[in-house]
Amino acid sequence: MSRVFNFSAGPAMVPEAVLKQAQAEMLDWQGSGMSVMEMSHRGKAFLSIAAKAEADLRDIMSIPENYKVLFLQGGASAQFAMVPMNLLGDKTSADYINTGAWSKKAISEAKRYCTVNIVAETKGDRAPKASELRFDPEAAYVHYTPNETIGGVEFDYIPDTGDVPLVADFSSSIISREIDVSKFGIIYAGSQKNIGPAGLAVVIVRDDLIGKAKDTVPAMFNYKTHADADSMYNTPPTYTWYFAGLVFNWIKQNGGLPKMAEVNARKAAKLYAAIDGSEFYANPVEVSSRSRMNVPFTLANAELDAVFLAEAKKVGLVTLKGHRSVGGMRASIYNAMPEAGVDALVAFMAEFERKHAN
């Protein structure tokens, strides 16, 4: 068996050391005689696993005490609805920044609940500049997507929304570098990219934003339900929670977020240099907005796309096909993608260009 470099946008690569640890603990977690997936979520063993995962995430992200960390089902998509359901209170509008496909999904869901002001919009080829943002001081909150997974567009700054809570869909860039959590009202992310297997949304929410939902909001969609029950109101996705904990611990043992950020910046720089240094490959995103997690690129001749994918696969570089809405290629290079994977991709791209460009 040999493992490939998997450039999937998510579910995505997991650190090999973590897979091995999960494998070693699969049949008998620390002498309990059972797998974590067989444990009651209310038992002592699982409660300790859950608490450790949260403590490690708090540690690596330096999450302040006045924030709750919720481990919820429904993925990031459920948060598109839960955010307005929980934050509107008596207000009737919210501000959204639109930078691409995932912003749009969040916007269309919010429109079911309130008036959506688009405070800035780009063609999906850049993040707006801070000076372009026109916030409404009466808005219940401001929502944005710090990293657009499909377009490969990432903010290189945190918008300043004053007293209006800032809500961020960090699905594809959470724990890829340090951020100042205190600048946010809510940070949420699906688990299947930097955190681990699918099945979980991690929601980091400031205390004062909990408890504002109307009575008509279902219990399962109310942050207060989950905050009061330590995310155990009903059965949580226990195995994914455990696995996320292994990943958080792996990050802690490997230099924390400063180290992740350093390696991620280097990986992205190498890949963009390969693209920019050739006449054959291109990336349409403005340089200051280029994602360090998802790198879309096209070949000069789209007829070669299938050949590129087939030849890449032969050398163990897989899932490079771009999103169906944009075509071309996309290399997702989350924390768990080793630098050697990017080096191999860059070498393959040069060789492919030499063979096929004329």
Binding site for ligand PMP (CB under 6 A): 10, 75-77, 102, 145, 149, 169, 171-172, 190
Q: Can you tell me which residue has the tokens 């570089």? A: 317
- Is 193 annotated as catalytic? yes
Q: Which of 102, 212, 241, 321 is catalytic?
A: 102
Give dist(CA 101, CA 84) in Å, integer: 19
Of the residues 68, 193, 267, 321, which is catalytic?
Answer: 193
252 in active site = no
Residue 314 Cβ vs ligand PMP, minimum distance, rounded to whole Å: 27
Q: At its nearest, how many Å lie between ligand PMP and the CB of residue 294?
A: 8
- CB of 204 closer than 8 Å to CB of 62: no
Taking alpha carbons only, the member of 245, 147, 254, 259 closest to residue 202 is 245
A 10 A CB-CB count for 30 gives 10
- Least Å distance, CB 164 to ligand PMP, is 21
Residue type, 69: V
Please, which residues have CB within 8 angstroms of residue 141's CB and are 6 or more apart in sequence?
Answer: 83, 87, 94, 95, 164, 165, 166, 167, 185, 186
Name the minimum Å distance from CB 307 to ligand PMP. Answer: 27
Question: Kind and range of the H or E element at 168?
Answer: strand 166-169
- Show Cβ contacts of residue 19 under 8 Å, excluding neighbours closer than 6 positions: none
Question: What backbone phi and psi angles, to 5 degrees, belong to 332?
Answer: -95, 125
The one catalytic residue in 29, 56, 95, 169 is 169
* Least distance CB 137 / ligand PMP (angstroms): 27
Q: Is the CB of 173 or the CB of 225 nearer to ligand PMP?
A: 173
Q: ω before 11 within 30° of 0 (cis)?
A: yes
The residue among 148 and 353 lying less far from ligand PMP, judged by its C-beta, is: 148
Q: Is 343 a catalytic residue?
A: no
Backbone dihedral region for residue 263 (phi beyond 0: left; psi -120 to 50: alpha; all else: beta): alpha
Query: Catalytic site residues?
Result: 102, 169, 193
